[in-house]
Amino acid sequence: MQKPNALKTGDSVMIIAPSSPPNIENVMKMKLKIEQAGLNVLIGKGVTEKRGYLAGSDANRVSDLHDAFSDSEVKAVLCATGGYGSGRLLQDIDFELIKNNPKIFWGYSDITALHIALQQKANLVTFHGPMMQECGVDTVPPKTLASFKQLLEPLSLTFTASEVDTYPAFSHSVTAPMTGGNLTVLTSTIGTPYEVDTKGKILFIEDIQEEPYRIDRMINQLRLANKLQECKGIILGNFNDCGPKKRQNSLTIADIVNDLIVPLGLPVLSGFLIGHCSPNYGVPFGVPVTMNGADQSISFEPGIQMKECRPQK
């Protein structure tokens, strides 16, 4: 896996909208914050375009992605918001272009489709992190914004589970690359050339506003597709507003995990503020992460590298 280079003062970054149209005002507020931190900001065409629930045409959105990775001045590609639409771009992406121009790629939610594809088709370490739209709001928690520090210097991140005694304890540790993301988007890749590869990896899942029976259906689909059996462990992020609505007689998320995942003998850790939550901590995908059962923590290897300065000949 290729780690992108760290950002430094004076670098340029590009904000793109591969999915739905963002709140322009909040994106521009985040643009100002980034510029105040010493970086230059470019804005992709799709950020200001609308086509129904999409940020402009598929052609323009994939063009923004290609422009960002082909421009040698751009050092990071930051997603404006999620929603829906990134999966529509997959068959038109030039993965060789991205593989040959590795750089920071940051976003989450619907961006999960791009995370999986860039990891598996371009061997690129990517970042599951808060969107420009949510970071631009005046009430964004400082801890959410602090996640961007990992793009400036190699940081090893450690988080402790807030949920304990929910799933069987394990005393050993497991280390493997992490993949995954939004559960709804993950399951939408099954049966396609871009389906998530979980073999020998730690699988991270999170979601928002999905009733438990829907979470059950999607986890069961991963199980039937052998995606759970192939992985080395499961990390559960935030499941925001995923309580019962249509069906009041319901299982809980914990019931579902105990029914469908725990019998597979996989280590499970849960209760991490990663995903649709506030604060929302950014983490690297594709680097080794260690699940430590003894202290109920997860630890990530840095997702970026410092650029080597080679003397001119």
Alpha-carbon dihedral of residues 131, 137, 138, 139, nearest 10 degrees? Answer: -70
In this prediction, residue 313 carries a pLDDT of: 40
Known catalytic residues are: 109, 206, 276
Mark whether 238 and 189 lie in a shared domain: yes
Mark whether 135 and 178 lie in a shared domain: no
Tokens of 160: 């402790």
Residue 61 lies in a domain: yes
Mark whether 112 and 240 lie in a shared domain: no
pLDDT digits (tens, 9 = 90+) for 260-298: 999 999 999 999 999 999 999 999 999 999 999 999 999
CATH number reported for the structural domain that contains residue 283 in this entry: 3.50.30.60
Helix (H, G, I), strand (E, B) or coil at 270: strand
Tell me how many domains the chain contains. 2
Give me the percent of the chain exceeding a pLDDT of 90: 96
Other Cβ atoms within 10 Å of 86 Cβ, number: 28
Domain boundary among 107, 135, 151: 151
DSSP category for residue 7: P
- Mean pLDDT score of the chain: 96
Q: Is the peptide bond before 279 cis (omega within 30 degrees of 0)?
A: yes
**Domain that includes residue 266, residue range:** 157-300
Tokens of 167: 């799933």
Asked if pLDDT for residue 184 goes beyond 80, the answer is yes
Helix (H, G, I), strand (E, B) or coil at 223: helix
In this prediction, residue 247 carries a pLDDT of: 80
pTM of the model: 0.95
pLDDT digits (tens, 9 = 90+) for 57-86: 999 999 999 999 999 999 999 999 999 999
Asked if pLDDT for residue 190 goes beyond 90, the answer is yes
Mark whether 94 and 217 lie in a shared domain: no
CATH number reported for the structural domain that contains residue 19 in this entry: 3.40.50.10740
In this prediction, residue 246 carries a pLDDT of: 86
Diameter over CA atoms, the chain: 72
pLDDT digits (tens, 9 = 90+) for 144-166: 999 999 999 999 999 999 999 89
In this prediction, residue 310 carries a pLDDT of: 42
Residue 292: closest CA among 169, 154, 206: 169
Helix (H, G, I), strand (E, B) or coil at 253: helix
